[in-house]
Structure 1
Amino acid sequence: MSRRVGLYWFTNDLRVHDNLLLSHATQEADELLCLYCYPCITPFLSHYAQVSQLGQGRQRFIKDALLCLDNSLHSLGQRLTVVNLSPLPALQHAIEQIGVTHLYINASAGVDEQRAVEIIKRQNPHLIVTQKETCTLFTQEQLPFTLRELPNTFTQFRKQVDSLEVSHPRDKVQVMPCEVTYHSESTLSFSSSNRARSFIGGERAGLAHCHRYFSSTFASEYKQTRNELDGMNASTKFSPWLAHGNISPRMVYAMLKRYERDNQANESTYWIYFELLWREYFYWYARKYREALFRFGGIKGQRPLTSYYAHRFQQWKKGETPFPIVNACMHQLNETGYMSNRGRQLVASCLVHELGLDWRYGAAYFESQLIDYDVASNWGNWQYLAGVGADPRGTRQFNLEKQTQMYDPYMEFIDRWKGRCAGAHLDSVDMVDWPIVMDSNGNA
C-alpha cells in the first residue's frame, strides 16, 4: 500500500484543541505537511482599502497565533510551514514537490479559499480532498434546511437552530504523523512582538482569556455592558481568537454552559449564545452567497445611492471627519486593530449615510485593519447596514449626536482617543478622484 502524504492547509483554524479536521488528518495520513499562506494584499483589497499592507495590529495578532501553533505542533513532532504566497500556487507547488495524496482544508467561508480548492481538485484529479467545518457551532448536516434554503433573515435562522444540540468540543490532538521535508523559496520566518497590548494571538492566550472571563461575573452582566465603547470587560472580546480559529465556538459554548450551571443562566448569558448564533448565521450566509458578498448591490442586487469621494474616504480612515465619536473610533482602530461593536455600527453608518460612500470601501478597510477580521461577519455586517444584505428593514442610519449622548455623554472616550478634530468639514468632490470600478477578483 502506497504511503499517504497529507497536506493540512491551515486557514482560520489555528489550534490543536477541538479540531476535528486535524484529528482526521492525523489518523489518515502517514506523513503530513502543515502549511499556512500568510495573508496578502489582493488587488481588490488594495483598491478598496487603499492600503499597501495589513495593519500592524492585525499582523502582530496573526504572528502571535502562528508562533503558538508552531510551538504546539513542535511538541507533537511537527512544525508549521508559513509561505508568502497566495494559496493556489502555494498548494500546487507543495502537491507537486512532495507528492501529496490527501489535502485537508477547513470548509472556509472565504470565496477565494473555496475557489482555490475547486481549481486544485480539477488540476489534481487523483487528490483526495477532505473538508470539514472547524469554526462553527453546527455542521451542514445538522442544519434543518439546505444551504440554498438558508433563511433570509437572522431571526428566521435563529428560530430554526436555537434548539439544535451543540457537540461537545473534542480533546486536544495528542499524536501527529511524521513531518514531510518541504522546501520553498517563499517560506517565512515569524516571531511574536514583545510590545505590551491587550490582545495576544494564539490558542493559549485565547483559552486563557476565555477561562478568565468565565471565572468572573462578567457573563451575567454582558447584555447591560456590551455596547460600551471601550474596556476589556465590557464585552466578551472572544472575537479575535474566534476569527483566527485559536478557539472554537463550541469551546466557548461549552464554557458558557458550565458557567450557567455553576452560577445562573439569565438574559445576559443567553445573549452571549445569541451573538454566537449571529456569527454562525453569517458563516452560512457567506457559504451560500459566495461572490455576492462583495458586490455593490449585495445579495439583493440593489445598488445603493452612494458613490466614492476620495477626500471623504481619507477623512474617515484617518479619523478627521466632523463627527468626534467616529474619529475616536477610527483612531482606536488604527492604533489597536480593534473597535467595539457599537463603534463599528457608528463608523459604518457615518461612511454610508453622512459621507455618502460605497460601503465596500469601509468593509475593505476593516478587513485590512481588524485583528478579529472574519470574512463572513465583516462583509455580512457591512451589507446589513448598507441595506443590501439580510436586514429586512433596509438601511440603518444612526444619529451620531444621539449615540454620543447615550454612550459617551462626558466625551471621555472621545477625548481618550482624540476625536475632536478642529475645522473638519466635508469638501466638494473632484470627478478626477473617481476610481475604476473593480470586481471581487480585482479586475477593472
Structure 2
Amino acid sequence: MKGLLWFRHDLRLADNPALVALSRRCDQALMVYVIDPEWFRPAHFQSRHLGRFREEFLYQSLRALERELKKRKQRLVVKVGNPLQVIPDLCKKHGIDLLAVTDHPGVYERQQVAYLSRTLGCEVSVSESFSLFLRSQFTFDKTTFPQTFSQFRKHVEKQNILPCIPISAPESLPKHIDERRDIWGGQEFVYDLTPYHGGEDSGMVQLNQFFWKTQGLKNYKETRNGLDGWQFSSRLSAWLANGSISPRIVAAELDNYEYRHGRSDSTESMYAELLWREYFQWMMHYHGASMFAFEGIKNKRPLTTYYCQNYKAWEQGTTEYPIVNACMRQLNQTGYMSNRGRQIVASCLVNELGVDWRFGAAYFEQQLIDFDVATNYGNWQYLAGVGADPRGQRHFNLEKQTEIYDPDGTFVEKWANSKSSESLLKY
C-alpha cells in the first residue's frame, strides 16, 4: 500500500498519530511539505502571512525533520506551489492509496482537508495532535462553546477532561518513494534567531532547559510577565506553533515535574497557559471565520478604523509611548515579544491610536516567530473587546504598565537606543 504524509503544523516524529497511522498501513510512502507562494505575498491589512523570522525558523525546522527522517531511511520532499494542486498531482503520479494529515483548527487548513477528502480518489486519514484534547472529549457546538476562558477551564476541570497521552515515534518507516524536491530557502536568510533554532530536538532541549536545568519553571508565576530575557518564560511557543513539539508532550513533562517536585503556583500557571492556548484552538474550531471578522465572535463593531499615520508609527515603534515603541522595536528586530508586551501594544493600537485591530493581528502574523493563528486572533479579539473578554474591552494604562514592568527604564532604554526598525520592515 502506498501512502503520502502531508506535514503541515506537525513537524516532528514523536507524538505524531498521522505518521504512526501511515507507518502501520503502508509499505511505501512519500513525506511531503508544501510551501505555498501565497505566504510571501502581501495579503489583507498590508502584511504577509509569513515574515522572515518565521520563514527562517520554518526552514530550520524542515531541515531538522529531514535529518530525523533520513535516520529512518526516509526523506522529506519539499514542494513549492498551491497544496490543492501539489498534493493531488503527487497522489495521481505515484498511485497513492492513503493520504495522512494532521487536523488543524485554522479555517484555511480545514478547508484544504475538506476539499481533498471530497476530490481525491484515495482514502484521507485525519489525525488529531495539535491540541491537548480530542474533539470527542467535547460536546460543544458554536452556540454552546464557553464564552470565556474561565467557563472553559471550569468545564474541563468539572468533567475531568485530561490531555491525551503522547505517543512515541515509530521505530521504522515505510520505504520512501522517489520524488524530486523543489529548491527553497537557506541562502538569503540573514537574521540571527539565536537562541531560537527550529526543529524537534531543539524544542525538546528548550523544554528540558526550562523545566529541569535552569529551573525556570520553579519561578514561572513570578517571572512570566517579564518584558525581556530568555528565561522569564518557557519560550516553547515557536516550537508549538509549527508542531516541532506537541502540547501533549509539554503537559506530560509538566505532570512529571509535579510528580517529582509537587504542585505549585508556578506549575498551575504553566498549565493555565496551556489551557489558554487550548481554549483559543477550540474557539477557532467552533467559530471559524468569525475569528477574522471586524465584529469578532461577539458580533460587536468596535469604534475604530484605519489611520495610516497612527498605524505606521505603531508598526515602526515611533509613537509617543516609549513602552510601546520599545516592544515594537523588539518585535521588529527579533521576531519575538513577551505576552505582556503583546497586550500593551495591542491595547495602544486599539485604544490610544484608534486603529482597526485586524491591522495589528495581521502584522503580528507577519512578524512573530511563534505565530499561531488561533492564539493570535483570539488574543487580539480579546483586547479589542470583540472576543472572549468578559469585561468587554481591555484598556491598559501605559504609564502604569511601565511603572510595574519596567520600573527602572532598562527595557525602554535598551530598545530606544537600538537601530531604527524601519529598515527591517522592508523585505
Match of 1:115 in 2: 111
Match of 1:158 in 2: 153
Match of 2:174 in 1: 177
SS of residue matched to 1:83: strand
Q: 1:421 to 1:103 in 2, by over 3 A?
A: closer
* C-alpha displacement of 1:319: 0.7
Q: 1:98 to 1:202 in 2, by over 3 A?
A: same
Match of 1:274 in 2: 272
Q: In structure 2, how many angstroms separate the alpha carbons of the residues matched to 1:173 and 1:190?
A: 29
User: Out of 357, 361, 370, which is 1:372 matched to?
Assistant: 370
Match of 1:199 in 2: 196
Q: 1:166 to 1:47 in 2, by over 3 A?
A: closer
Q: In structure 2, how many angstroms separate the alpha carbons of the residues matched to 1:304 and 1:40?
A: 33
User: Out of 47, 53, 57, which is 2:53 matched to?
Assistant: 57
Q: In structure 2, how many angstroms separate the alpha carbons of the residues matched to 1:193 and 1:20?
A: 35
* C-alpha displacement of 1:42: 5.0
Match of 2:76 in 1: 80
User: TM-score w.r.t. structure 2 length?
Assistant: 0.92
Q: In structure 2, how many angstroms separate the alpha carbons of the residues matched to 1:360 and 1:234?
A: 29
User: Out of 4, 15, 29, which is 1:18 matched to?
Assistant: 15
SS of residue matched to 1:334: helix
Q: In structure 2, how many angstroms separate the alpha carbons of the residues matched to 1:39 and 1:400?
A: 39
Q: Return 5+ residue gaps in structure 1 as ranges.
A: 423-444
Q: Does the CA contact (< 8 Å) of 1:309 and 1:357 recur in 2?
A: yes
Q: In structure 2, how many angstroms separate the alpha carbons of the residues matched to 1:311 and 1:392?
A: 31
* C-alpha displacement of 1:104: 1.3
The count of corresponding residues between Structure 1 and Structure 2 is: 416
Q: Deviations over 1:298-343 (max 9, x none)?
A: 1122221111111221111111111111111111111111100000
* Greater fraction of residues in helix: 2
Q: Does the CA contact (< 8 Å) of 2:40 and 2:51 recur in 1?
A: no
User: Out of 406, 409, 421, which is 2:407 matched to?
Assistant: 409
Q: Deviations over 1:90-123 (max 9, x none)?
A: 2222222222221111111111111112222222
Q: Deviations over 1:29-76 (max 9, x none)?
A: 22211111225445996231435x733221121111111101011111
Q: 1:330 to 1:39 in 2, by over 3 A?
A: farther
Q: Deviations over 1:355-383 (max 9, x none)?
A: 11111111111111111111110111111
SS of residue matched to 1:188: coil
Q: In structure 2, how many angstroms separate the alpha carbons of the residues matched to 1:301 and 1:225?
A: 36
User: TM-score w.r.t. structure 1 length?
Assistant: 0.89
Amino acid at match of 1:136: S
Match of 2:131 in 1: 136
Amino acid at match of 2:361: A
* C-alpha displacement of 1:127: 2.1
Q: Does the CA contact (< 8 Å) of 1:324 and 1:420 recur in 2?
A: no
Q: Return 5+ residue gaps in structure 2 as ranges.
A: 421-427
Q: Does the CA contact (< 8 Å) of 2:299 and 2:386 recur in 1?
A: yes
State yes or no: 1:47 paired with 2:35. Answer: no
Q: Does the CA contact (< 8 Å) of 1:299 and 1:388 recur in 2?
A: yes
Q: Does the CA contact (< 8 Å) of 1:326 and 1:419 recur in 2?
A: no
Q: 1:355 to 1:196 in 2, by over 3 A?
A: closer
Q: In structure 2, how many angstroms separate the alpha carbons of the residues matched to 1:93 and 1:284?
A: 32
Amino acid at match of 1:12: H
RMSD: 2.2
